Amino acid sequence: MKNIPNFCPFLVKYHHNDVFLHAKPNDQMKIRLILTLSLAFLAAGIASAQSESDHNFEVKKNLDVFNSIYKNLDLIYVDTLDANEVIGTGIKAMLKSLDPYTEYYPEENMKDLKEIYTGKFAGIGSLIRYNMKIKRVVIDEPYEGMPADLAGLKKGDIILSIDDSVMTDKDVSYVSSHLRGDPGTSFMLKILRPSTGKKMQMKITRKTVQTPSVPFYGLRKDGIGYINLRQFTDECAQEVRNAFIEMKDKGMKGLVLDLRNNGGGSENEAVQIVNMFVPKGKLIVSNRGKLKRSNIDYITKVEPIDTVMPVVVLVGDMTASASEITSGALQDLDRAVIVGTRTYGKGLVQTSVDLPYNGSLKLTSNKYYIPSGRCIQAINYKHARGGYTEHIPDSLTKVFYTAKGREVRDGGGIMPDVEVQPDSLSNITYYLASSGADSTEVMLDYEVDYINRHATIAPAADFEISDEEYEDFKQRVLKSGFKYDPESEKYLKQLEKLAKFEGYYDDAKEEFDNLKKKLTHNLSKDLDINKEQIKKILASDIVAAYYYQRGAVENSLRGDKQMEKACQLITERTEYNKILRIEN
């Protein structure tokens, strides 16, 4: 009886059998109940300890087996093994069975991990790409004020060599690794400029490069402010704060915060941004995991800048992680209207753990929960059979409530309050615009020629490709030998093959023939149908050469349906107030 907790006085009183027999019936029932519960708790404790012991044994056993296997391979296997490669393959396979965010970084790759967390690296500050037509790596887009920009590099410049290393037969990753290095180090870069046919050589000094977290912000004539937040890197909240205060001082009446294509980053920065719009002391996000000490509650710490100005947040299917914390918290606290399409659905948090020999393990340690209590993780990662994924169906999501009682759901990302689908990219536009998708590179050639012919262009907000200029581009495409796979023809061929297999083709042959005539690939017609979409992409690429990323973002807002809806919500206010249950 000594293992039975003595938290009940009458159990202590009647713990001997002879006394128990003389106890009152009611007390006997109580004793039996407590004994049963105590034994159950004891059994559970034993089972838990046994389970933990079994788990620890399985871990030790498998580590011993793994160690023994490699020792025997290293000793007996017919070829000499590279430990880094063989064991590295085993590590990668193990992590692959978990989730895509858990990664091992050996010492030589620690710079990559640092770049993920800070958004900083040392190099020339330019996007590069592979030109499929000439089979060379070329400059694509220098960043404003960075070494590539200061050296005068332009879109389309062909990279010939870096110091004494020839680059004409190398891929993008190889060239990129040679352009990067320690800040302050210099190298000789040799390029060929297609527009002049001249080879140029220049000395470039590498610099710490950080892609701008806020590539563009601005105040429209109607008093609506716009902030494009590209990533949640260190101090991005201060950039957003400065932009907001500047526009507010100029009379801003409402804000559009654009988080489309923002893959996330720092949780703390997300909390600080939300804190700009909600009071001090509000719970924004909670991290919960296996280790109690890693559980964190993020609460707003300072007084907000503005708690009443209308705020609309733009989101899309690539809005993830810290972006979802920001948009989800503002939705849960009824502080902003979310516009766009369902977000990615990453409700997991990663932590870095130092490893022997200066390596690091970035591993998923927590799930996060936003103010309503929901976790918006869209995928369950299963670890059996080498790892597989299960998307959480909408039917299994649960209802939660915002501060004012609006229904929201967990699992599957953040659903916008107002869904607005963007224009989908047509097949021909994709092939024209995608690097490496088309061997003719006709779009790149046109843009490089256009930039060479025009010393200046209209302001970023106003620039567009004229109909005459588009006609010139169209004729270039027609003469270039450009080809792409029309999806409708591809599916028709598959349907025809299936109809023949199932015996329906002969009866439907006339209909198939008519469809073939209507769906026959006509490049000129496709270029006309998708004219406006292609013109917009051409304009955005060209603007970036003159006004950098800020100009490209500003230009992309022309005809943006989601942006137009956001501005309408702020200007008219009726729908905005109804969604957030704001009394007029």
Task: Please list the active-site residues.
Answer: 321, 332, 346
Query: Which residue pairs from 30-34 have beta carbons closer than 8 angstroms and sit at least 24 positions apart in sequence?
Result: 34/4, 34/8
Element (H, E) at 137: strand 136-142
Q: What letter would DSSP give residue 426? A: P
Indicate the pairing of strand 165-166 with strand 186-193.
Answer: unpaired
State the DSSP string of 529-547. HTHHHHHHHHHHHHHHHHH
Two structure tokens written together for 331: 């939705």
Rounded Cα distance, 126 and 129, in Å:
10
Q: Taking phi first (over 0 means left), then psi (-120 to 50 degrees means alpha), and beta for anything else, what does residue 340 get?
A: left
From the number of C-beta atoms within 10 Å of its C-beta (0-12, 13-18, 19+), residue 505 rates as middle
* Residue 351 near residue 288, CB atoms below 8 Å: no
CA 218 to chain centroid, in Å, comes to: 24
Measure Cα distances from 102 to 31, 337, 422 in Å. Answer: 51, 33, 32
- 3-class DSSP assignment, residue 565: helix
Rounded Cα distance, 409 and 399, in Å:
5
- Crossing angle, helix 467-480 and helix 442-453, to 10 degrees? 140
Two structure tokens written together for 568: 């309408």
